[in-house]
Structure 1
Amino acid sequence: MMEHITGDEDRVREEMVRIPGFVIRRYRPEDRDEARRILAGGLTGLAWPAFRSAIMVPSNFGLLLAACGAVHALTASPVCTATAFLALLALVYLACRGPFTGYVRETLKGDMADIARHYLSAPGCCFWVAEEEEGGAVTGGRGGGRLAGIVAAKAEPADRPTACHLYRLSVDPRCRGRGLARGLTQVVLDFARDGGFRLCALATTSVQQPALRLYQRMGFQLVGTEPVSLGFLSRLSQIDICYLEKRIELAPG
């Protein structure tokens, strides 16, 4: 259940949304470092699940077996075979880690370097942060404290004038599994509806299966996929970019 409340913090009245255990509010400049931390941690943390998934793909698994078999046939050395196996595993891990670390670098240098300018300076855009609530008190206090999650919305008029795009959804690992990702997504959907948008669009990856299931439970539909293409190594990762959309029912009146 989401409850809209108002608060008076830093002498600024602002609308906030409370869900069980958390308060979601508009971004403030003092939140910058924490917002960047949550985004970077959430994305780089995907490398390990991507690796586990990639090594189970039949083509990659077959490549590992074939390469190790060839090394063993040439050297008849268990040590060389084991070394080759570990080296190939490391190669697959780097292939899985590269797309996420590269994206983090680009994002931190891009919109996340100046969040206010990219998400708070134009109509149809906003950036929210979530703070954990304990005993009725918000743990982040007046901002600048430890945040629980982030999300952003941005209109792309040059692309699709009636669409609002959901960006940067990330939840701190300690707060996952408590409904915060759903609450942050709903805040963007409400923002899109109230802003008169007819569509909410987003992109995620095939590695993020819990996120994909959440979006689809909330009414998003998968409209397309494409493989991550960053050279030969990225093909080993078997990571796809997934595009989803949800039609928005406009608010009455």
Structure 2
Amino acid sequence: MAASFQIRKYQDDDAETVREIFTLGLSEHVPSLFMHLLKQPVTQMVLMCVFCTLMASSKSFLLPILAVTLLLAGIRQFVVHMANRYIETGLSGDLNDISEAYLKQKDSCFWVAESDSRVVGCVACLPAENAPGCLQMKRLSVRRSHRATGIAKALCRTVADFSSERGHAGVILCTSMVQTSAQKLYEHMGYERIREFAPPGFLFKVTNFVTFEYRLDLQRSGKKDN
């Protein structure tokens, strides 16, 4: 599917649309995160213990099945809650005042993708705290209706070009293990996975949830282009 679009710098009128795209994009990962939790040994052990204990004490299938069903519903609600907390953190943080966070800072910028006069995607970058000489790509998101049209790739290239023009050595980014489509995109664009780590918090360690860090070496990328 081909799409006609343009990439332009963010304007204050885009605020609500960008926040909506960000919220919808992250909400899509709730089912994948829920399935990841269900596959973890600790989750399966809890479910099995509850089922077997109630089965032995009640001598009936109905009560243990009902209890497991309620536990599954509770786990899913917990995943939704955690996702909403992460979304709120973004909305109340840098996305609360995008101009202040990105457009007024050195080596920072925020762009939107516009198709048929409608904002359908966004991306941002700013200096990387833990990688001197690199910029960090953030907030890449494209509406589901406009994916597989080249918009995400164009947004990635916009960040790379911006970074290269300012003499930076590379671009880094972080993405979670459940964002498999994003991982494929980054690897297609020349990014290499350089490390993986568990986000802070006991829950992430117990559930084996990890975040991947990717890097695009602009100097090497430039040599390839030449």
TM-score in terms of structure 1 length: 0.79
Q: Which amino acid aligns with 1:81?
A: P
**Alpha-carbon separation, structure 1, partners of 2:213 and 2:14:** 29
RMSD of aligned C-alpha atoms?
2.2
- Equivalent residues of 2:40, 2:207 under 8 A apart: no
Q: 1:49 aligns with which of 32, 41, 58?
A: 32
Where is the strand percentage greater, Structure 1 or Structure 2?
1
Q: Which amino acid aligns with 1:79?
A: L
- Equivalent residues of 2:42, 2:207 under 8 A apart: no
* 1:27 partnered with 2:27: no
Tell me: CA distance 1:90–1:219, structure 2 relative to 1, closer, same or farther (3 Å): same
Aligned equivalent of 1:177: 148
**Alpha-carbon separation, structure 2, partners of 1:220 and 1:31:** 29
Between stretches 58-67 and 189-198, larger displacement belongs to: 58-67
User: What secondary structure does 1:148 align onto?
Assistant: strand
Tell me: CA distance 1:175–1:247, structure 2 relative to 1, closer, same or farther (3 Å): same
Q: 1:151 aligns with which of 110, 123, 132?
A: 123
Aligned equivalent of 2:92: 109
- Equivalent residues of 2:137, 2:171 under 8 A apart: yes
Aligned equivalent of 2:175: 204
Aligned equivalent of 2:217: 247
Runs of 4+ in 1 over 3 A off after TM superposition: 158-161, 228-232, 234-238
**Alpha-carbon separation, structure 2, partners of 1:149 and 1:65:** 43
User: What secondary structure does 1:35 align onto?
Assistant: helix
Unaligned ranges ≥5, structure 1 = 1-18, 133-138, 141-145
Q: Which amino acid aligns with 2:26?
A: L
Between stretches 193-202 and 60-69, larger displacement belongs to: 60-69
Aligned equivalent of 2:159: 188
- Equivalent residues of 1:54, 1:236 under 8 A apart: no
User: What secondary structure does 1:193 align onto?
Assistant: helix
Tell me: CA distance 1:194–1:61, structure 2 relative to 1, closer, same or farther (3 Å): same
Q: 2:184 aligns with which of 213, 218, 224?
A: 213
Aligned equivalent of 1:136: none
**Alpha-carbon separation, structure 2, partners of 1:174 and 1:62:** 39
**Alpha-carbon separation, structure 2, partners of 1:242 and 1:99:** 19
- Equivalent residues of 1:50, 1:237 under 8 A apart: no
**Alpha-carbon separation, structure 1, partners of 2:70 and 2:53:** 14
Q: Tell me the CA shift for residue 87 of structure 1.
A: 2.1
Q: Which amino acid aligns with 2:161?
A: D
**Alpha-carbon separation, structure 2, partners of 1:75 and 1:227:** 40
Unaligned ranges ≥5, structure 2 = none
Q: Deviation per CA, 1:47-86: give whole Å up to 9, x if none.
A: 1121123223444334323321222112223221122111
- Equivalent residues of 1:92, 1:236 under 8 A apart: no
Q: Which amino acid aligns with 1:208?
A: Q
Q: Which amino acid aligns with 2:104?
A: S
Pairs aligned (count): 221
Tell me: CA distance 1:85–1:236, structure 2 relative to 1, closer, same or farther (3 Å): farther
Aligned equivalent of 2:46: 63
Q: Which amino acid aligns with 2:30?
A: A
Tell me: CA distance 1:44–1:35, structure 2 relative to 1, closer, same or farther (3 Å): same
